[in-house]
Structure 1
Amino acid sequence: MHFIITDERLAGTRTLRLSGARLALAFAAFSLLLLVLAGMLYHWVVQKSAREGWPVLGTLVQPLASDELAQRDRFLRENVDAMARKLGEMQAKMMQLEAPGERVSGLAGVNPNELKTVPGRGGALVSGRPLSMEELQDTLVHLDELADHRKDLLTVMETRLFDQRVNKLMIPTQKPVQVGQVGSAFGWRIDPFTGRSALHTGLDFRADPGTAIHAAAAGGVVVAAETHFAYGNMVEVDHGNDLVTRYAHASRLLVKKGDLVKRGQKLAEVGSSGRSTGPHLHFEVMVQGVYQDPHKFLGARNLQVAALLPPGQSGRVGR
């Protein structure tokens, strides 16, 4: 097939030659373009007539548009119901956390009622009626607030439990001398030097000279490492929170004032220096400058204290 194109301004002609294959391809492209344009026009007319209610076309296309809208609404409804079920499961899990949360808060010393400062709504989200997007949005906001509250509360409980753990580590619960028996206990007794009643301010551990003396509490700072006329060679360790431990009558000191020590660190060696009648460690615990019975810190129920020994043996060790 030949096409002859004549241009008057150029005073010339052009010849366009199309073979059968090219002609078929051009026809197919033109038909496809018409189909696309027709589809777009149909969609625009249907939507326009359904939306604006054209007298004739509106009545004809209304069923088609209604069916399309119904399908879209059904799809959205199914997704909303799925979201509602998922939110219901999340809400139930948040409710289940209340019981263990109350138990842990009690251990941490936090008022369990604080768990309920954000009011719960209870119940399942999926009821007999469909839920609206607004209701789902409100529930999401509530769960977000509840999660933030639980997070803050868990942070408080974590801090409280950590503080309790630290305070527990600071208490002198480790025997300062691993080998040896307990001699004179804390309290009033007959002084071995004067023969009069006097307050024994610590707990004595009988041990061989040179036996290692270890820090009984958590880490601290050595505030004294010196020779005292009564305590002999002694070490005092400040553990913070007004807690001080004292180790007296040592034969040799292994730390000096200002040293940092940790629980179980070797501080000195057992001796009989100062006001002492034999090799032993005199161990004291002071809280805010007040002498405390080391017996209650060290779990001395398992120790053979002097009060349980036969008469005549409780006063053989010095101060």
Structure 2
Amino acid sequence: MHFIITDASLAKSRAVHLSGARLLAAMVALSLVLMLSAAGLYHWVFLKGAREGWPVIGALVRLVVKDEFEQRDRFMRENLDAMARRLGEMQARLLQLDALGERVSGLAGVNFAEFKSTAGQGGALVSGRSLSMEELQATLAELEQNTGQHVDMMTVLESRLIDQKVRSMMIPTQQPVSDGHLGSPFGWRIDPFTGRSALHTGMDFQAEPGTSILAAAGGVVVTQELHPAYGNMVEVDHGNNLITRYAHASKVFVKQGDLVKRGQKIAAVGSTGRSTGPHLHFEVLVQGVPQDPGKFLAAGRHLPVAKGAAARAKAAEGTDG
């Protein structure tokens, strides 16, 4: 394409030649300039109209802003409703924890009602209605407080249960022989050596020589000696002035100062000391006073079956003093 440019008097002229590529580039450049100009003008007019409240532009701006706010509000409402549902589920689980805590507190010996009144409780239960942000924040704060109180409560219950477990392990309720049957029970009987009535301060378990003698509870060995009457004897201190005594053993597998666990093998059945046959003489002493071991063993459901008449019939058989 050729262009001829002349001045007013036609005295001078100039020819301009544009190829196809140059013409296309010029048109693209012109289009870009026009687009940028239009965009700038539109932006300027739109902003000016929005600031000054021109009727058409102001209405358009309000419509756009309203739609944007509605979308944002709808998004927030959906999220608030989802959080409220989750909060309701958490509160329901806290109610389940309350029920569980009430059952466990009975085992731990804790008055659950008094504990809750001391710790305090509260918090509006989340219902099906929509909550505002302020209500949701307040409920979350109360839920956090209640959760902390439940943690404290469960910690107390755990401590009580552990303490009870430890105490129960220190009470002699474990059967002290692995394989044997009851001979002479605790109480008054005819002494097999003197033939006179005498207090039998323990229980006799008849068993084969070498039968395992087990610690009736955990504790510390305070005595391990050869006694004139009790023969090879072991005494275990369980704390709280409670001691168990195991007598007439053929062998002893612990020494003074040893820690023993419930059910641990500490000796073997024999017939040493003042004895007429192989058996274990088992005593329970509280503050040095002999107690009926049968009551302790019965508490642990380890007491061997021995009907009253049969047990007394064996009292005159080979037992200790």
| Ranges in structure 1 where 5+ consecutive residues have no aligned partner | 2-16
Equivalent residues of 2:243, 2:286 under 8 A apart: yes
Q: How does 1:196-207 map to 2 (within 5 A)?
A: 196-207=196-207
Tell me, what secondary structure is at the counterpart of 1:285?
Answer: strand
Residue 135 of structure 1 and its aligned partner are, at CA, apart by 0.6
Residue 59 of structure 1 and its aligned partner are, at CA, apart by 5.8
2:193 alignment partner in structure 1:
193
**Distance (Å, rounded) in 1 between the aligned partners of 2:259 and 2:222:** 10
Question: Normalising by the residue count of structure 2, what TM-score does the alignment of the two structures yield?
Answer: 0.78
1:256 alignment partner in structure 2:
255
2:226 alignment partner in structure 1:
227
Q: How does 1:239-254 map to 2 (within 5 A)?
A: 239-254=238-253
Equivalent residues of 1:228, 1:234 under 8 A apart: yes
- Cα-to-partner distance string for 1:271-301 (whole Å, 9 max, x where unaligned): 2222223221111123343433211222365
In structure 2, relative to structure 1, the CA distance for the partners of 1:163 and 1:55 (3 Å cut) is same
Q: Are 1:87 and 2:87 matched, yes or no?
A: yes
Residue 243 of structure 1 and its aligned partner are, at CA, apart by 3.2
Equivalent residues of 1:118, 1:145 under 8 A apart: no
2:62 alignment partner in structure 1:
62
**Distance (Å, rounded) in 1 between the aligned partners of 2:227 and 2:42:** 106
- Cα-to-partner distance string for 1:36-81 (whole Å, 9 max, x where unaligned): 65676577557x63xxx74756566434433433333233233323
**Distance (Å, rounded) in 1 between the aligned partners of 2:239 and 2:31:** 92
**Distance (Å, rounded) in 1 between the aligned partners of 2:265 and 2:79:** 69
Q: Amino acid of the residue matched to residue 308 of structure 1?
A: A
In structure 2, relative to structure 1, the CA distance for the partners of 1:27 and 1:182 (3 Å cut) is farther
Equivalent residues of 1:202, 1:293 under 8 A apart: yes
Equivalent residues of 1:115, 1:150 under 8 A apart: no
In structure 2, relative to structure 1, the CA distance for the partners of 1:58 and 1:187 (3 Å cut) is same
In structure 2, relative to structure 1, the CA distance for the partners of 1:89 and 1:177 (3 Å cut) is closer
Once the two structures are aligned, what percentage of the paired residues are identical?
54
Tell me, what secondary structure is at the counterpart of 1:251?
Answer: strand
1:8 alignment partner in structure 2:
none
1:126 alignment partner in structure 2:
128
Equivalent residues of 2:230, 2:248 under 8 A apart: yes
Equivalent residues of 1:206, 1:280 under 8 A apart: yes
Equivalent residues of 1:190, 1:315 under 8 A apart: yes
Q: How does 1:103-114 map to 2 (within 5 A)?
A: 103-113=103-113, 114=115
**Distance (Å, rounded) in 2 between the aligned partners of 1:168 and 1:187:** 26
Q: Amino acid of the residue matched to residue 165 of structure 1?
A: K
Q: Amino acid of the residue matched to residue 225 of structure 1?
A: Q
* More displaced 10-residue stretch of structure 1: 21-30 or 195-204: 21-30
2:147 alignment partner in structure 1:
147
Equivalent residues of 1:224, 1:236 under 8 A apart: yes
**Distance (Å, rounded) in 1 between the aligned partners of 2:239 and 2:45:** 85
2:74 alignment partner in structure 1:
74
**Distance (Å, rounded) in 2 between the aligned partners of 1:318 and 1:19:** 128
Equivalent residues of 1:248, 1:281 under 8 A apart: yes
Tell me, what secondary structure is at the counterpart of 1:71?
Answer: helix
Q: Are 1:99 and 2:103 matched, yes or no?
A: no
In structure 2, relative to structure 1, the CA distance for the partners of 1:35 and 1:292 (3 Å cut) is farther
* More displaced 10-residue stretch of structure 1: 26-35 or 270-279: 26-35
**Distance (Å, rounded) in 2 between the aligned partners of 1:40 and 1:55:** 14
Tell me, what secondary structure is at the counterpart of 2:78?
Answer: helix
In structure 2, relative to structure 1, the CA distance for the partners of 1:76 and 1:251 (3 Å cut) is closer
- Cα-to-partner distance string for 1:196-228 (whole Å, 9 max, x where unaligned): 43322211111233322222223x322111011
**Distance (Å, rounded) in 2 between the aligned partners of 1:155 and 1:195:** 59
Question: Normalising by the residue count of structure 1, what TM-score does the alignment of the two structures yield?
Answer: 0.78
**Distance (Å, rounded) in 1 between the aligned partners of 2:187 and 2:43:** 102
Tell me, what secondary structure is at the counterpart of 2:280?
Answer: strand
* More displaced 10-residue stretch of structure 1: 293-302 or 277-286: 293-302
Runs (4+) of structure 1 moved beyond 4 Å? Answer: 20-46, 53-60
Q: Are 1:318 and 2:317 matched, yes or no?
A: no
**Distance (Å, rounded) in 2 between the aligned partners of 1:54 and 1:289:** 101
In structure 2, relative to structure 1, the CA distance for the partners of 1:298 and 1:311 (3 Å cut) is closer
Equivalent residues of 1:98, 1:115 under 8 A apart: no
**Distance (Å, rounded) in 2 between the aligned partners of 1:281 and 1:241:** 24
| Ranges in structure 2 where 5+ consecutive residues have no aligned partner | 2-18
